[in-house]
Amino acid sequence: MRRILTLVLLVLAGSIGNAQATTITFEDLAIDDGAITGGDRTSGGFFFDSATDHTHIVQDASSWNTGNGTHFLLIDDVGGTHPPATDPVTFSPTLGGPFTLTSIDISEAHSNPFFSARQIEVTGNLFGGGTILATLALDNNLVNGVPGNYFQTFAFGAGWTNLSSVKLNGVGAFGGGNYFAIDNIVVGTAAAVPEPGTLSLLGLGSAYLIRRRRRNRR
């Protein structure tokens, strides 16, 4: 009995404070290809804030020369009309709290490669202040002008934790626009606080073990 209770307590204790991973796929925003329904969107429990309120939900690869068979979020700076020709999008949990960025799929995007981003500047804003930075180089496959799946998966290291928000900014397009697409964002959020019943079970189990140990010593 003692061994069983000990195992139960260890399992319950280990579940407290662990991160819960989720993947943001934008499938909950499935609409007509390329439709603009405002730049700010909520998907997978995260809020995506577009600086110029101009984004697209896309699935058809022929529209933007890229696609992965599922819906994704396409971002641009509306033809370079917003100096310095960038339109960052910032995402954060809708309920607040820290999160971890594990990986993200990113692709160049546009029917004309002249307007697609060449790099993505990533800024992680940390709880309590401070930032962590990364610059991601895209492989420029769109120069072929042939629609295809040009998404690349970028993984983030151990420093990308305790984040309050992450900003993605496309740069390097030859003709402005800096179009790029994002999908399959793997994030981790803090596990929910145990319910009172779970905490009570932990307390009762601990008390039982302490009492049992004292009896055995007598």
Q: pLDDT: is 177 or 216 the higher one? A: 177
**pLDDT tens digit string along 121-151?**
999 999 999 999 999 999 989 888 889 999 9
CATH number of 19-191: 2.60.120.1350
Q: pLDDT: is 29 or 187 the higher one? A: 187
pLDDT of amino acid 34: 52
pLDDT of amino acid 15: 43
Q: For residue 32, name the pLDDT band (cuts at 50, 70, 90).
A: low
**Average pLDDT rounded to a whole number, residues 94-103:** 96
AA identity, residue 39: G
Q: How far apart are CA 20 and CA 158, in angstroms?
A: 16
**Average pLDDT rounded to a whole number, residues 35-63:** 81
Q: For residue 212, name the pLDDT band (cuts at 50, 70, 90).
A: low
Q: For residue 81, name the pLDDT band (cuts at 50, 70, 90).
A: very low
pLDDT of amino acid 201: 46
Nearest Cα residue to 120 out of 70, 166, 161, 63: 166
Q: How far apart are CA 77 and CA 85, in angstroms?
A: 6
pLDDT of amino acid 58: 85
Q: For residue 83, name the pLDDT band (cuts at 50, 70, 90).
A: very low
Q: Where are the domains of the chain?
A: 19-191
**Average pLDDT rounded to a whole number, residues 52-63:** 81
Q: pLDDT: is 144 or 73 the higher one? A: 73
Mean pLDDT taken over the chain: 79
Contacts of 177 (CB under 8 A, 6+ apart): 76, 77, 79, 80, 85, 110, 114, 115, 116, 117
Q: Mean pLDDT: which of 40-44, 64-68, 105-109, 211-215 is highest?
A: 105-109
The answer to whether residue 214 scores a pLDDT higher than 70 is no
**Average pLDDT rounded to a whole number, residues 49-74:** 86
The length of the chain, given as a count of residues = 218
pLDDT of amino acid 177: 83
pLDDT of amino acid 136: 98
Q: How far apart are CA 213 and CA 218, in angstroms?
A: 9
Phi and psi angles of residue 57, each rounded to the nearest 5 degrees, phi first: -100, 120
Q: Is 215 left (phi over 0), alpha (psi -120 to 50) or beta?
A: alpha
